[in-house]
Amino acid sequence: MVFPILTESDTTLPVYLTSIGHWSNQESIDRPNGYPNFQWLQVMTGAGELQVGNQKMAVRAGQGFCLFPNEPHQYFAIQEPWEIFWMSFKGSLSDTMFRQAGITQSGVYSTADHDMIITHMKNIYAMTQSGRAFLGLECSKLVYMFLLDLMKVILVSSHSVEQNYLKLNPVLQYIEEHYNELITIKDLANCIDVTPQYLCLLFKKAMKLRPMEYVNRERINRSKELMFHESDIKMHEIAHRVGFDSPSYFSSVFKRLEGLSPEQFKKIHGMR
């Protein structure tokens, strides 16, 4: 196991590594006062039991378990060898990134891509052995990448964000091709032969957006491209060409998403 030396600058990073290691057969751990950092442990072989509070959970090969700071817990092997890669980290973004991945409490989680998770952890471990300058910074980048990918592949309610996103690909392509036309929620649902209600659920899980919010974001992005490519174009023409019924509605959506009006956007980018 490795406990990297952390500089004062390292500990101000949004997320930073505090330890990482590998056990060919994980020993029993009992922490009545918990552990001070966030932890992620990924099981390679065998099986174990995790106890958090009054809850007991089996942890098998291909699964991972997370532990929130200062929460009493214990874990031990029930099928040996119980091989585990583990890492701990801190930083102001740690809790936020776990929660964005759907991890809201200590417990056992399955992932859609076990090999990718292990590859990330091996890369972080290798970095700690590299002797590189700015080691804390380099490890921080790798931990951040790990958490971003974990966000995609964690299985919450049997589906990962990545799986939901793949299901939505035909819908996103339809929006890209028809953003300048009238689009209804039924049109989008028909792209993947689901109900409008289920489509909304997929969007919420994959993007934290409603489908028509995504449509409006696509239209606003296209409007910004038009402003750059055709600087003399009028606002009412832009609104029409990106699929808005009225210039006033276009302006209100633009200001809500961008924080400034279309005219202000053109001005700060040097367009007349």
Residue 65 counted as domain residue = yes
**Average pLDDT for 28-45:** 96
Amino acid identity at 125: Y
Judgement on whether residues 189 and 137 belong to the same structural domain of the protein: no
- 237: number of CA atoms within 13 Å, CB side? 7
- CATH number for the domain that contains residue 45: 2.60.120.280
Judgement on whether residues 114 and 211 belong to the same structural domain of the protein: no
- Is the CB of residue 202 less than 8 Å from the CB of residue 209? no
Judgement on whether residues 83 and 189 belong to the same structural domain of the protein: no
Classify 270 in phi/psi space as left (phi over 0), alpha (psi -120 to 50) or beta.
left
Residue 217 above 90 pLDDT?
yes
Closest C-alpha to 124, from 104, 144, 106, 107: 144
Residue 232 counted as domain residue = yes
CA separation for the pair 221, 218 (Å, rounded) = 5
DSSP 151-180: HHHB-BTTB-HHHHHHHHHHHHHHHHHHTT
Residue 55 above 80 pLDDT?
yes
Amino acid identity at 266: K
Residue 3 counted as domain residue = no
Residue 161 above 80 pLDDT?
no
Instruction: Give the chain's domain count.
Output: 2
Q: What is the pLDDT of residues 60-111, one digit of tens each?
A: 999 999 999 999 999 999 999 999 999 999 999 999 998 888 888 999 998 8
Which residue carries 């934290």 as its tokens? 208
Q: How far is CA 252 from CA 6, 197, 201, 248, in A?
A: 47, 26, 26, 6
Where helices occur in the chain by DSSP H, the ranges are: 94-100, 114-128, 135-153, 161-178, 185-191, 196-207, 211-229, 235-241, 247-258, 262-268
Residue 101 counted as domain residue = yes
Q: How far is CA 134 from the centre of its chain?
A: 26
- Structure tokens given for 130: 């590299």
94 three-class SS: helix
Q: Which residues contact 94 (CB under 8 A, 6 or more apart)?
A: 15, 38, 147
Judgement on whether residues 143 and 43 belong to the same structural domain of the protein: yes
- Structure tokens given for 254: 């633009």
- Is the CB of residue 28 less than 8 Å from the CB of residue 75? yes
Judgement on whether residues 173 and 93 belong to the same structural domain of the protein: no
Record the pTM: 0.73
**Average pLDDT for 141-169:** 82
Judgement on whether residues 180 and 96 belong to the same structural domain of the protein: no
Judgement on whether residues 167 and 66 belong to the same structural domain of the protein: no
Given this model, what pLDDT does residue 99 score? 86
Q: What is the pLDDT of residues 115-128, one digit of tens each?
A: 999 999 999 999 99
Residue that terminates a domain, selected from 153, 178, 206: 153
- Is the CB of residue 209 less than 8 Å from the CB of residue 203? yes
Residue 133: count other Cβ atoms within 10 Å of its Cβ.
7
Residue 5 counted as domain residue = no
The pLDDT-based confidence of 232 (bands split at 50, 70, 90) is confident
Averaged pLDDT score across all residues of the chain: 92
- Structure tokens given for 269: 């980018």
Domain limits at 166? 162-268
Residue 267 above 60 pLDDT?
yes
Residue 2 counted as domain residue = no
Judgement on whether residues 102 and 41 belong to the same structural domain of the protein: yes
Residue 4 counted as domain residue = no
CA separation for the pair 143, 149 (Å, rounded) = 10
Amino acid identity at 222: R
Residue 260 is given by DSSP the state S
Given this model, what pLDDT does residue 170 score? 95
Whole-number percent of the chain with pLDDT over 70: 97
Residue that terminates a domain, selected from 109, 136, 153: 153
Judgement on whether residues 180 and 228 belong to the same structural domain of the protein: yes
- CATH number for the domain that contains residue 229: 1.10.10.60
Residue 192 above 70 pLDDT?
yes
Judgement on whether residues 17 and 146 belong to the same structural domain of the protein: yes
The pLDDT-based confidence of 160 (bands split at 50, 70, 90) is low
Residue that terminates a domain, selected from 127, 153, 179: 153
Residue 252 above 60 pLDDT?
yes
Residue 256 counted as domain residue = yes
Judgement on whether residues 181 and 82 belong to the same structural domain of the protein: no
The pLDDT-based confidence of 164 (bands split at 50, 70, 90) is confident
Judgement on whether residues 145 and 180 belong to the same structural domain of the protein: no
